[in-house]
Amino acid sequence: MFVTHELIIAGFGGQGALSMGQILAYAATIEGREVSWMPSYGPEMRGGTANCIVIVAEKRISSPIVTMFDSAIVLNQPSLDKFLPRVKTGGLVLVEESTVKVPPGSPALEVVRIAAVHEADILGARQVANTVMLGAFLAKRPLVQVESVVKALEKVLPPHRRHLLDMNRRALERGAELAGHSEKLTAGSTA
Protein backbone atom coordinates (compact mmCIF):
# COMPACT_ATOMS: atom_id res chain seq x y z
CA MET A 1 0.00 0.00 0.00
CA PHE A 2 1.21 3.55 0.70
CA VAL A 3 2.94 5.17 3.64
CA THR A 4 1.90 8.81 3.13
CA HIS A 5 -0.05 10.54 0.36
CA GLU A 6 -0.20 14.34 0.09
CA LEU A 7 -3.02 15.78 -1.99
CA ILE A 8 -4.18 19.26 -2.98
CA ILE A 9 -7.82 19.76 -4.01
CA ALA A 10 -8.49 23.18 -5.52
CA GLY A 11 -11.20 25.15 -7.27
CA PHE A 12 -13.63 28.01 -6.81
CA GLY A 13 -15.76 28.27 -3.69
CA GLY A 14 -18.99 26.36 -4.24
CA GLN A 15 -17.42 23.61 -6.38
CA GLY A 16 -17.02 21.31 -3.39
CA ALA A 17 -13.22 21.23 -3.12
CA LEU A 18 -13.24 21.62 0.66
CA SER A 19 -16.05 19.14 1.25
CA MET A 20 -14.35 16.61 -1.05
CA GLY A 21 -11.21 16.84 1.07
CA GLN A 22 -13.17 16.66 4.30
CA ILE A 23 -15.03 13.55 3.19
CA LEU A 24 -11.77 11.88 2.15
CA ALA A 25 -10.27 12.78 5.53
CA TYR A 26 -13.27 11.36 7.40
CA ALA A 27 -13.13 8.16 5.33
CA ALA A 28 -9.44 7.72 6.13
CA THR A 29 -10.17 8.29 9.83
CA ILE A 30 -12.86 5.60 9.67
CA GLU A 31 -10.17 3.24 8.37
CA GLY A 32 -7.86 4.11 11.24
CA ARG A 33 -5.36 6.17 9.25
CA GLU A 34 -3.59 9.32 10.34
CA VAL A 35 -5.12 12.33 8.60
CA SER A 36 -4.60 16.04 8.16
CA TRP A 37 -7.14 18.30 6.42
CA MET A 38 -6.16 21.93 6.03
CA PRO A 39 -8.62 24.20 4.20
CA SER A 40 -7.83 27.57 2.66
CA TYR A 41 -10.28 29.95 1.03
CA GLY A 42 -10.61 33.57 0.07
CA PRO A 43 -12.91 35.95 1.91
CA GLU A 44 -15.39 35.79 -0.95
CA MET A 45 -16.27 32.13 -0.18
CA ARG A 46 -18.64 31.07 -2.99
CA GLY A 47 -16.96 32.05 -6.23
CA GLY A 48 -13.63 32.85 -4.59
CA THR A 49 -10.68 30.50 -4.52
CA ALA A 50 -10.80 27.47 -2.26
CA ASN A 51 -8.39 24.63 -1.70
CA CYS A 52 -7.47 22.09 0.90
CA ILE A 53 -4.50 19.93 1.60
CA VAL A 54 -5.26 16.38 2.65
CA ILE A 55 -2.59 14.09 4.00
CA VAL A 56 -3.40 10.42 4.55
CA ALA A 57 -0.72 8.38 6.28
CA GLU A 58 -0.10 5.08 7.99
CA LYS A 59 1.94 6.77 10.72
CA ARG A 60 1.87 10.09 12.56
CA ILE A 61 1.94 13.20 10.34
CA SER A 62 4.67 15.59 11.42
CA SER A 63 3.28 18.72 9.74
CA PRO A 64 0.16 19.67 7.74
CA ILE A 65 2.25 22.14 5.71
CA VAL A 66 3.09 20.71 2.29
CA THR A 67 4.93 22.39 -0.57
CA MET A 68 4.94 19.51 -3.09
CA PHE A 69 2.05 17.13 -3.68
CA ASP A 70 1.70 13.50 -4.74
CA SER A 71 -1.61 14.29 -6.43
CA ALA A 72 -3.88 17.20 -7.34
CA ILE A 73 -7.60 17.34 -8.04
CA VAL A 74 -8.20 20.56 -9.95
CA LEU A 75 -11.61 22.08 -10.57
CA ASN A 76 -10.68 25.28 -12.44
CA GLN A 77 -7.99 26.85 -14.61
CA PRO A 78 -6.55 29.29 -12.02
CA SER A 79 -6.04 26.41 -9.60
CA LEU A 80 -4.31 24.35 -12.27
CA ASP A 81 -2.02 27.25 -13.11
CA LYS A 82 -1.18 27.72 -9.44
CA PHE A 83 -0.71 24.12 -8.27
CA LEU A 84 0.51 22.15 -11.30
CA PRO A 85 4.17 23.15 -10.71
CA ARG A 86 3.84 21.78 -7.18
CA VAL A 87 2.94 18.21 -8.17
CA LYS A 88 5.83 15.79 -7.77
CA THR A 89 7.30 13.99 -10.77
CA GLY A 90 5.20 10.89 -11.40
CA GLY A 91 2.23 12.47 -9.61
CA LEU A 92 -1.42 12.34 -10.59
CA VAL A 93 -3.39 15.40 -11.74
CA LEU A 94 -7.15 15.03 -12.23
CA VAL A 95 -8.79 17.94 -14.01
CA GLU A 96 -12.49 18.65 -14.44
CA GLU A 97 -12.66 19.01 -18.21
CA SER A 98 -15.42 21.61 -18.52
CA THR A 99 -13.78 24.06 -16.12
CA VAL A 100 -10.12 23.53 -17.03
CA LYS A 101 -9.84 24.88 -20.55
CA VAL A 102 -6.10 24.36 -21.09
CA PRO A 103 -5.20 20.99 -19.61
CA PRO A 104 -1.51 20.32 -19.17
CA GLY A 105 0.49 17.89 -21.17
CA SER A 106 3.43 16.57 -19.19
CA PRO A 107 5.50 13.43 -19.57
CA ALA A 108 6.43 13.76 -15.89
CA LEU A 109 2.82 13.56 -14.64
CA GLU A 110 -0.24 11.39 -15.09
CA VAL A 111 -2.90 13.89 -16.16
CA VAL A 112 -6.48 12.65 -16.44
CA ARG A 113 -9.48 14.65 -17.65
CA ILE A 114 -12.82 13.81 -16.02
CA ALA A 115 -16.20 15.08 -17.26
CA ALA A 116 -17.49 15.38 -13.70
CA VAL A 117 -19.96 18.23 -14.25
CA HIS A 118 -21.43 16.50 -17.30
CA GLU A 119 -21.79 13.21 -15.43
CA ALA A 120 -23.33 14.93 -12.40
CA ASP A 121 -25.87 16.57 -14.72
CA ILE A 122 -26.72 13.12 -16.12
CA LEU A 123 -27.19 11.85 -12.56
CA GLY A 124 -29.54 14.77 -11.98
CA ALA A 125 -27.60 16.76 -9.38
CA ARG A 126 -24.74 19.03 -10.37
CA GLN A 127 -23.69 19.25 -6.71
CA VAL A 128 -22.27 15.68 -6.90
CA ALA A 129 -19.64 16.65 -9.50
CA ASN A 130 -17.08 16.76 -6.71
CA THR A 131 -18.07 13.22 -5.71
CA VAL A 132 -17.54 12.07 -9.30
CA MET A 133 -14.03 13.55 -9.09
CA LEU A 134 -13.41 11.82 -5.76
CA GLY A 135 -14.51 8.48 -7.23
CA ALA A 136 -12.11 8.98 -10.15
CA PHE A 137 -9.28 9.87 -7.78
CA LEU A 138 -9.87 6.80 -5.62
CA ALA A 139 -9.86 4.59 -8.70
CA LYS A 140 -6.39 5.91 -9.51
CA ARG A 141 -5.10 6.18 -5.94
CA PRO A 142 -7.11 3.84 -3.68
CA LEU A 143 -6.29 5.54 -0.39
CA VAL A 144 -9.61 4.47 1.14
CA GLN A 145 -12.47 2.13 0.31
CA VAL A 146 -15.62 3.50 -1.33
CA GLU A 147 -17.66 2.09 1.58
CA SER A 148 -15.66 4.28 3.97
CA VAL A 149 -16.49 7.31 1.83
CA VAL A 150 -20.18 6.41 1.98
CA LYS A 151 -19.96 6.05 5.79
CA ALA A 152 -18.23 9.44 5.94
CA LEU A 153 -21.01 10.96 3.82
CA GLU A 154 -23.59 9.54 6.20
CA LYS A 155 -21.87 11.40 9.03
CA VAL A 156 -21.26 14.75 7.34
CA LEU A 157 -24.33 15.27 5.18
CA PRO A 158 -26.90 17.41 6.99
CA PRO A 159 -30.33 15.83 7.47
CA HIS A 160 -31.85 17.81 4.59
CA ARG A 161 -29.21 16.33 2.22
CA ARG A 162 -29.40 12.66 3.33
CA HIS A 163 -31.63 11.89 0.36
CA LEU A 164 -28.49 12.39 -1.78
CA LEU A 165 -26.59 9.42 -0.27
CA ASP A 166 -27.57 7.00 -3.05
CA MET A 167 -26.79 9.61 -5.70
CA ASN A 168 -23.38 10.20 -4.13
CA ARG A 169 -22.68 6.46 -4.21
CA ARG A 170 -23.58 6.39 -7.90
CA ALA A 171 -21.36 9.45 -8.47
CA LEU A 172 -18.41 7.69 -6.79
CA GLU A 173 -18.98 4.62 -8.96
CA ARG A 174 -19.32 6.70 -12.13
CA GLY A 175 -16.13 8.58 -11.32
CA ALA A 176 -14.27 5.30 -10.91
CA GLU A 177 -15.61 4.12 -14.28
CA LEU A 178 -14.55 7.37 -15.94
CA ALA A 179 -11.04 7.13 -14.50
CA GLY A 180 -10.66 3.73 -16.10
CA HIS A 181 -11.80 4.97 -19.51
CA SER A 182 -10.80 8.61 -19.40
CA GLU A 183 -8.54 10.40 -21.78
CA LYS A 184 -5.00 10.50 -20.49
CA LEU A 185 -2.93 13.39 -21.74
CA THR A 186 0.67 12.99 -22.78
CA ALA A 187 3.47 15.45 -23.41
CA GLY A 188 2.41 18.33 -25.60
CA SER A 189 -1.21 17.14 -25.84
CA THR A 190 -4.00 19.63 -25.29
CA ALA A 191 -6.78 17.39 -26.57
Question: Kind of pairing, strands 69-74 and 110-114?
Answer: unpaired
The per-residue pLDDT for 1 is 54
Mean pLDDT score of the chain, rounded to an integer? Answer: 88
| Res 186: pLDDT | 35
Neighbours of 189 (CB within 10 A): 13
15: left (phi over 0), alpha (psi -120 to 50) or beta: alpha
For the chain, which domains are there?
Answer: 4-185 (3.40.920.10)
6-58 pLDDT, tens digit each: 999 999 988 999 999 999 999 999 999 999 999 997 665 556 679 999 999 99
pLDDT per position as a tens digit, 72-125: 999 999 999 999 999 999 999 999 999 898 767 777 899 999 999 999 999 999
Residue 2 confidence (pLDDT): 67
Which pLDDT belongs to residue 164? 86
Alpha helix (H) ranges present in the chain? Answer: 17-30, 77-83, 116-123, 129-140, 146-156, 165-181
Amino acid code (one letter) for 170: R
